[in-house]
Chains A and B, each alone.
Chain A
Amino acid sequence: MLSRILIANRGEIAVRIIRACKEMGVQTVAVYSEADRESAHVGMADEAICIGPPPAGESYLNTANIIAAAEVADVDAIHPGYGFLAENSQFAEICASCNIDFIGPSPESMTLLGDKERAREIAQSAGVSILPGNDEPLTDDADALTLAHKIGFPVIIKAAAGGGGRGMRVARNDPSLINSINIARAEAQAAFKDSTIYIEKYLEDARHIEIQLLADKHGNIVHLGERDCTLQRRHQKLVEESPSPAIGPRLREEMGEAAIAIAKASNYSNAGTVEFLLDQEGKFYFIEMNCRVQVEHPVTEMVTGIDIVLEQFRVANGNPLAFTQDDIQLNGVAIECRINAEDPNNNFKPDPNRITKWYQPGGRGVRIDTHSYSGMVVSPYYDSLVAKLIVHRPTRAECIIAMKCALDEFDIRGIKTTIPLYQEIFGHTRFIRGLVNTTFIEDHFTR
């Protein structure tokens, strides 16, 4: 029975995890960098340990200090949150060797699915469609050109060790392909210490649909429906909703089964999400699987009534899932906006400043997941997410209206935020009618 947990993360997700622990009666240990001394998660936990100076590489990515903290605090388990070390199989292995439970899948599953090229192979052998791309590792530029001509431009170049929408480039012709490959390799090396890249056909006019999974350690896997995360900017999600306006019951069942098949093929346990692209003909293709709890998990929690973080702990404790696929129902519609400390009128330039006023919306079906408060200084060392605003209503139309009201109510001063962008999006006809694709933001909102 896990009774003492270290949360190896910060910001809103650390707050989220600590909340779940408190409800379970589990002791919490927070870790923080010197920049996060005044952070909400530090005050919430039963114990807090400083693990390094502000830079993430020396603190939240500092395996030695985090494991040392776990040992001096004598914890049973570590919850890695998302980002940082959440999908680092070496970290998961070190936890195992130190007899500390890792709240997530096994290091082996993580290694398999963390290699995005291998993940494609697994999906294909599980009978799931993948986008045309390289079957063998790419050898040289000539190889890449031949492949691009075979599958047809445009193509997208991705880092094999990457994920989370980082290090991706679209190429539309021969010269831009070679150029993009070189840049992509350099970016992949810098970001992921691995310059291996792979190429896929780039689907224009597609929707990003992901399936939330929960798997226990007894072989039971259930899907919690889809999230539509089509609205993105530079491959970073801005708005997520469930259910998707483009998905009906039959497609949901098909995609759910495909996701489960991939999880089974990789011996997956705990929470995970399988990402697909859905084309205009209703055909879906596997993109990647994320072996962690995701930023947008609250959307699924609102429509299913299931506490995903709580389930993560229950699975880690060895409990079988308390529900079957038939028990899962999507009720109403939930939409999430990621509120970032960025200036939407100045190319989304980050604004790490001191929040002088923080008044957040509330009421029925309005959920805010945040670590921010009036007087908090938004740190320049980490991502710019200051809050997640999630609204839940019986229908999509009502949800959009309620989200507009909530955005209007949200009063944040001292920092620029992306609230004005969302106010525009939620007034845009195409979004309201559910007719968007992955280039919607670039097409309609670039300044």
Chain B
Amino acid sequence: MDIEKMESALAKFIDLMNINDLTELEVTEGESSIRLKKGSDIVASPPTTIVNTASDAVASDTQAIQALELTSESATESSLIEIPSPLVGTFYRAPSPDSDPFVEAGDDVDNDTVLCIVEAMKVMNEIKSEVEGRIVEILVENGQSVEFGQGLFIINPS
């Protein structure tokens, strides 16, 4: 894997996405592929654009994009959903300091399950799951400051 070529190709891919307002881009050559997703709303659906590479030359437009290798990602992992913070504030795992956390890793959740609180300007905002599935990972710690779009939970949707 040639890091410099990868960096330059990645820069070109990111430009391609920005200029064409893409949210997803997948490039495959042979058995290698790379997939880029914008923003936090990762949806388990087929990618928006698939480009098959033809040669080594890196072009500014669509075809002939350099092949890259990707650290292996299983099919199941790539369908995981990240729940982003819709607010800037402080993340709390429980309704109050003495209570149990709303959820733990491994819990099953549905659309209405409250996952956490993000406190902003003294207002405790309950963040709901909005997907059905199982919590795989909790990305932030209790009391941590979070920004807009920052990943809070990883859920394996059912």
Q: A354-B15, A377-B18 are in contact. Are A72 and B121 (CB under 8 A)?
A: no
Closest to A356 in B: B60
Give A69's nearest chain B residue, CB to CB. B88
Total A-B pairs in contact (CB under 8 Å)?
51
B50 part of interface (Cβ distance < 8 Å)? no
From B24-32, B62-70, B142-150, the one touching the partner chain is B142-150
Residues of A380-416 whose CB lies within 8 A of B: none
The docked-state distance in angstroms from the alpha carbon of A71 to that of B119 is: 11
A138 contacts chain B at the CB level, 8 A cutoff = no
When C-beta atoms are compared, the residue in chain B nearest to A67 turns out to be B121
B121 CB to nearest chain A CB (Å): 5
Q: Cβ of B19 and Cβ of A353 under 8 Å apart?
A: yes
Which residues A25-72 have CB closer than 8 A to chain B?
Answer: 34, 49-53, 59, 64-69, 71-72
Residue of A nearest to B149 (CB): A50
Q: Are A51 and B121 in contact (CB under 8 A)?
A: no
Tell me if B87 is interfacial: C-beta within 8 Å of chain A. yes
A-B CB proximity, top 8 nearest: A68-B120, A72-B145, A68-B88, A50-B147, A65-B88, A49-B147, A69-B88, A50-B148
What 0/1 pattern do residues 311 to 334 of A give for CB contact below 8 A with B?
000000000000000000000000
Known: A50-B148, A65-B148. A354 touches B88 (CB 8 A): no
The residues of B that contact A73 with a CB separation of less than 8 Å are 145
A50 to B150, CA, bound (A): 8
**Across the interface, do A51 and B147 meet the contact criterion of CB distance under 8 Å?**
yes
Asked whether B106 is an interface residue with its Cβ less than 8 Å from the other chain, the reply is: no
Known contacts A64-B121, A68-B120: A51-B89 contact under CB 8 Å: no
Binary A-proximity of B121-152 (CB < 8 A = 1, otherwise 0): 10000000000000000000000010111100
Q: Is the CB of B120 within 8 A of A65?
A: yes
A positions within 8 Å CB-CB of B: 34, 49-53, 59, 64-69, 71-73, 98, 353-354, 377
Query: Which residue on B lies nearest to A35, using beta carbons?
Result: B18
| Interface of chain A: mostly helix, strand, loop or mixed | mixed
Q: Does B156 lie at the interface of the complex (its beta carbon under 8 Å from any beta carbon of A)?
A: no
Given the complex of chains A and B, what is the CA–CA distance between A376 and B15 in angstroms? 9
* B121 engages A354 (CB within 8 Å): no
Return the chain B residue nearest A97 by Cβ.
Answer: B121
A73–B90 CA distance with the chains assembled, in angstroms? 11
**Contact: B19 with A51, CB < 8 Å?**
no
Cβ contact within 8 Å between A51 and B18: no
**Contact, CB under 8 Å: A68 / B149:** no
Q: How far is the CA of A51 from the CA of B15 in the complex (A)?
A: 23
CB-CB nearest in chain B for A352: B19
Q: Which residues of B contact A49 (CB under 8 A)?
A: 88, 147-148
How far is A71 from B147 in the complex, measured between Cα atoms in Å? 12
| Residue from B19, B87, B121, B149 with most neighbouring chain A CB atoms (10 Å) | B121
The answer, yes or no, to whether B101 is at the interface (CB within 8 Å) is: no
Since A50-B148, A59-B148, A72-B89 are in contact, a sample of 6 more A-B pairs with Cβ atoms closer than 8 Å, ordered by chain A residue number, is A50-B88, A50-B149, A53-B148, A64-B120, A67-B120, A98-B121
A34-B149, A50-B150 given; A71·B121 CB < 8 A: yes
Q: Which residues of A contact B149 (CB under 8 A)?
A: 34, 50, 53
Kindly identify which residue among A67, A69, A98 contacts B147, using a CB–CB cutoff of 8 Å.
A69
